[in-house]
Structure 1
Amino acid sequence: MYIPKQYRMKNEEAVQIMKSNPFALLITVNEHRPLATHIPLEIREDEGKIYATGHIAYGNMQKKTLDNNSDVLLIFQGQHAYISSSWYQCEEVPTWDYLAVHAYGSARLITEDELISSLDTMLNHYEGHRENGRTWETFDPELLKSEMKGIVGFEIEITSIQAAAKMSQNRNDTDYKAIITELEKSNEQGEIQVAKWMREQRKGSIE
């Protein structure tokens, strides 16, 4: 991914974007043809390494590309918003602000026990805090056994990260504050989140 120097994120920041936006795009190649699946992932750090674990449908042909594949790409999309040039002091063209992470890694298919552990973790994360949440232990074992026949689990060890935070860093404080003010007027949560991120980056200088 092309990233001008001023927009590059540190790996630690990128991992937080991945964890906050775990519904990613999984991309592999099969016989020179790119394959892609939109998929929720569990992101974890272990002894200095980063892993993404998930599962896809058994009928998804992309599963064949996940067995010992060292060239896998995950794309995570963070907050983003259209930025109108009418908000600037001087005449300029409009743009789009965004957070995005491209994570490259090596994939392997995981065992049934590893898949169960992954599903258990994911259910606890998304259901554990809910009233009457459905965690692994609350399901009929026969139902789980049947459903697991329809999926294939995988793990990707992240080996390289490219992350961009293009958030109007090139604008002066006056324009920067105007962008935040206009975005905060929006009813769109994405635009409000961009404004929140921008305000945090220049806390103290634009108050």
Structure 2
Amino acid sequence: MYIPSAYRNENPAEILKFLKDNAFGILVSTGPSGPMATHLPLELEEKKDQTLVLKGHFARANPQWRHIADADEVLCIFNGPHAYVSSSWYQEEEVPTWNYMAVHLKGVYRMQTEEELWEALHALVDKYESDSEKPVSLHRMSRATLAQVRGIVGFEIRVTRLDAAFKLSQGRSQDHPKIIEELQARGGSAGAIADAMKAQSGA
């Protein structure tokens, strides 16, 4: 990923938080006719030796997994909030731009064993059910329901390279108050960019 130096984030804590908050990513690999990509929940785990591992699963009917072998390199893309930034918010004339947050991870792919898949599925469901009023658990589901797990294949990706781009109007600190005000008024993804800009500046 091309990242101008001003926008490259090398803060491990901020990047790990971003990956955990934006865990629905895109796994890209090489297929017989060119690139293949699937949108997937990709859960990040930090090992005791500080190795980073992504865990996920494909639908067995998805042909992509059949074209990835153990030890192949794959790319995972994680998108965060983004927003159009009008140059009318600047004190001086300039072209409009786009603020965004994104992380690319490259890593080595390995298929999970059945035991590893079940462990990852329990962790995934428990994580996202934790704030539910009536959380479900795989432990309490019937065998008939759990038989659907036969329709997926699990994998792990050992991360070998990490690139993080947090483009948040760096270099335009004099315009930050106005940009933040306008983005907050728009809410949604734009509001999230405003919050990131405020956090970056310590406001």
TM-score class, shorter = over 0.9
Shift of residue 32, structure 1, vs aligned partner: 5.2
Give the partner amino acid of 1:41: L
The percentage of aligned residue pairs carrying the same residue is: 41
2:191 is equivalent to residue 189 of structure 1: no
1:56-92 per-position Cα deviation (integer Å, ceiling 9, x unaligned)? 1101111123331331000000111110111011111
1:129-179 per-position Cα deviation (integer Å, ceiling 9, x unaligned)? 2121111112112310x2111101000011101110111011032x11110
Shift of residue 41, structure 1, vs aligned partner: 1.3
2:4 is equivalent to residue 9 of structure 1: no
Q: Name the residue aligned to 2:199.
A: 200
Q: Name the residue aligned to 1:69.
A: 71
Question: Is the CA contact (8 Å cut-off) linking 1:66 and 1:109 kept in structure 2?
Answer: no
Question: Is the CA contact (8 Å cut-off) linking 1:128 and 1:135 kept in structure 2?
Answer: no
Q: Which runs of 5+ in 2 are unaligned?
A: none
Structure 1 ranges of 4+ moved more than 3 A: none
Question: Is the CA contact (8 Å cut-off) linking 2:32 and 2:67 kept in structure 1?
Answer: no
Following superposition of structure 1 onto structure 2, how do residues 161-200 of structure 1 map, counting pairs within 5 Å? 161-173=162-174, 175-186=175-186, 188-200=187-199
Q: Note the aligned Cα RMSD (angstroms).
A: 1.3
Following superposition of structure 1 onto structure 2, how do residues 1-207 of structure 1 map, counting pairs within 5 Å? 1-10=1-10, 12=12, 13-31=14-32, 33-47=34-48, 48-144=50-146, 146-173=147-174, 175-186=175-186, 188-204=187-203
> What is the TM-score normalised by the length of structure 2?
0.95
Q: Which runs of 5+ in 1 are unaligned?
A: none
| Partner Cα distance (1:132, 1:71) in 2 | 40
Question: Is the CA contact (8 Å cut-off) linking 1:11 and 1:161 kept in structure 2?
Answer: no
Number of aligned pairs?
201
